Structure 1
Amino acid sequence: MTHLPSLNGLRAFDVAGRHLNFRAAAEEMGVTQGAVAQQVRQLEAHLGVKLFERLPKGLAFTAAGRGYHTLVATAFDDLRAATETLRPEPGKVLVSVTPTFAAKWLMPNLPEFSAAHPEIDLAVLATERVSRFHGDGIDLAIRQGKPPFGAALEVVRIFRQEIIAVASPALVGGHSLPLDPEALSCLPKLHDAHGLWPAFLRHLNVEDRGGRGLRLSQTALAMDAALSGQGIALVSSFLATRDIAEGRLVQVCPDTLPGEHDFYLLAERGAKRGSAVQATFDWFASKADANV
């Protein structure tokens, strides 16, 4: 195994790389500027590679130093995350959700959660990737999917995937609502990663005559584009409930498209849960649609 550099040298390099200044790095680390500079010099000597260009007013990465710093900073982030999983805080709960769920449902409903559970420090990990309970240190997850999820998980379905078409009132102001299928086919469409427009239009028995439309990577972005009047978006009905109720969006036709991937609350089955995790689990479960 290749002999690894000193951890102190790597830490000095990480902090100096963030500030690109030995003095600022020394202040963060609580040591002298000379100590930081010496640690970095020793790291460069160990590697046989120059990591920084010394400038009159600070530092600049060399090409090798920039790439190495990215990897070293990531490694320190992983170490910090791993340490946190070993020292869980009694009132802290980490929930993993998709960015769209976070932006369009969880954030608007967080004030209610905070009012009901002011003692709980809820942390939200918004990511498209599948999170791991042990590897990522999460307590709960909400994911869109299709059973079975595995015997190791406790699963509660909280929202059905019922797809509706929504738009800004400004976009459809010249039309009478609900739109007939032909009128809807001529308006611009907003496409997300789920790609549901072909199925929705087949359900209406019409072709798309609205042009190429805007293509976005997330449903949340499609909803934002709809809010700004750029087209019609297809969204799960529960995500648009608040915007429809407050008049920012309108459901442009009564037809809905049932989806195959509902939204589920996931937790480790049999794991010992603290009171904060259990209370958070119960709160999410209480928000389940009546028809799930």
Structure 2
Amino acid sequence: MIPLNAIRAFETTIRLGSVKAAAKELCVTEGAISRQIKKLENVLGLPLARRDKQTIAATALGNALAQNLTTALDLVDQSVSDAQNKSARIRLQVAPSFAIRWLMPRLDQLQKDLPLLDVRVTTTLLNNQFDHYSFDAGIIYGDGQWTNLNTIKLSNEYLLPVASPDASKITLENFKGLTFLHTTLDQRDWKLWVEKSNHDQAISLTGPTFETLDLAVRAAENGFGISLGDLSLIYDNFRTNSLKVPFGPILETGRGYYLVHEPSHLCGRAIDDFKHWLQPQSPIQTIDAETIAQNLGINLISVSS
């Protein structure tokens, strides 16, 4: 068997043009490099290099061999690098509602499609802030205006009223007497929806506040009141008839969920693999809000209109 150390020593010496440079790159002594080259010549029974006191040069045969070895060793290095990247770990920060409503049901498929990718999901209540010290990438909520981060939009936020299919009293006629479920103490989502829907803005939006959108929607599913849901995250509920839309409109807010990471992160290849898996099936690619609004018989409006 041809010794790999001898191959590496010979290729590096010819590529760099000196034993001294090869010794420095491979972190060995010059004497070790010379011995490895001689060993390769003995194993092959071929003259590969001409030497004098100061320099070493490849013979014609040695030069051809060195060029082929450079190509082969580059391929080996790239193959090892690819294997390391494909089996890399990604520490992923995810907004809770996106994690529960969209990502978790698809983790099994992710494992099947990218079995060597170790994605470690952590949810945090800092929906719109990325903790780049603790995580390699994040799926966070906002308008996409973060500095020093690469961003890819995964969903548009479409807010619409949702309730339990059994909640027969939740109708537009009873709007003023409904129990409104909130995700912020300032009730900003419902206030925005009421304003853009041309409802009476003086109406009392009485109701409890929940820590996440997912909790508010789950409360609505159980008949506790009416919540605003994000169409991108609750579309699966319509297909299973676990939620109903008692009235419209659907409001496009201009915000959404984004995949973010630092531009020069060391897990770049692993993040690219995850990104290429995520993008084609993300809500922004699969949710047609206009068609859904037409099918529901309600309007689709925008904050900007």
Q: For this structure pair, what is the TM-score category when the shorter chain's length is used for normalisation?
A: 0.5 to 0.7
Match of 2:197 in 1: 204
C-alpha deviation, 1:209, in angstroms = 6.3
CA distance in structure 1 between the partners assigned to 2:254 and 2:269 by the alignment: 33
Q: Give the fraction of aligned pairs with identical amino acids, expressed as a percent.
A: 23
CA distance in structure 2 between the partners assigned to 1:221 and 1:142 by the alignment: 19
Q: For 1:256, which of 250, 258, 266 is the aligned residue?
A: 250
Residues 24-67 of structure 1 deviation map (CA, whole Å, 9 limit, x = unaligned): xxxxxxxxxxxxxxxxxxxxxxxxxxxxxxxxxxxxxxxxxxxx
C-alpha deviation, 1:142, in angstroms = 0.9
CA distance in structure 2 between the partners assigned to 1:91 and 1:143 by the alignment: 22
Contact 2:90-2:120 within 8 A present in 1 as well = yes
Other structure's SS at 2:234 match: helix
Q: Is 2:88 aligned against 1:91?
A: yes
Q: Is 2:139 aligned against 1:142?
A: yes
Amino acid at match of 1:110: L
Residues 74-127 of structure 1 deviation map (CA, whole Å, 9 limit, x = unaligned): xxxxxxxxxxxxxx9943211111111111111122222122122222111100
Q: How does 1:115-130 map to 2 (within 5 A)?
A: 115-129=112-126, 130=129
Contact 1:97-1:127 within 8 A present in 2 as well = yes
Name which of structure 1's ranges 260-269 and 228-237 shifts more when overlaid on structure 2.
260-269
CA distance in structure 1 between the partners assigned to 2:248 and 2:242 by the alignment: 17
Q: For 1:188, which of 179, 183, 192 is the aligned residue?
A: 179
Bigger share in helix: 2
CA distance in structure 2 between the partners assigned to 1:125 and 1:89 by the alignment: 21
Other structure's SS at 2:125 match: coil
Q: For 2:110, which of 108, 113, 117 is the aligned residue?
A: 113
Q: Structure 1 runs of 4+ off > 6 angstroms?
A: 208-211
Distance 1:161 1:211, change over 3 A: closer
CA distance in structure 2 between the partners assigned to 1:210 and 1:247 by the alignment: 29
Amino acid at match of 1:227: E
Q: Please, what TM-score do these two structures have when normalized by structure 2?
A: 0.58
Q: Is 2:234 aligned against 1:240?
A: yes
Match of 1:131 in 2: 130
**Aligned residues, how many?**
197
Match of 1:156 in 2: 152
Structural RMSD (CA): 2.6
Other structure's SS at 1:214 match: coil
C-alpha deviation, 1:221, in angstroms = 1.0
Contact 2:130-2:140 within 8 A present in 1 as well = no
Distance 1:210 1:170, change over 3 A: farther
Unaligned runs of 5+ in 2: 1-84, 290-305
Amino acid at match of 1:206: H
Residues 210-257 of structure 1 deviation map (CA, whole Å, 9 limit, x = unaligned): 772222121111011011110111121111111111111112223112
Amino acid at match of 1:214: P
Match of 1:85 in 2: none
Q: Is 2:98 aligned against 1:101?
A: yes
Contact 1:197-1:234 within 8 A present in 2 as well = yes
Match of 2:165 in 1: 169
Q: Which is greater in Rg?
A: 2
CA distance in structure 2 between the partners assigned to 1:90 and 1:157 by the alignment: 25
Distance 1:272 1:121, change over 3 A: closer
Contact 1:189-1:210 within 8 A present in 2 as well = no
CA distance in structure 2 between the partners assigned to 1:89 and 1:281 by the alignment: 13
Other structure's SS at 2:188 match: coil
CA distance in structure 1 between the partners assigned to 2:203 and 2:146 by the alignment: 39
Distance 1:203 1:185, change over 3 A: farther
Contact 1:187-1:210 within 8 A present in 2 as well = no
CA distance in structure 1 between the partners assigned to 2:175 and 2:165 by the alignment: 14
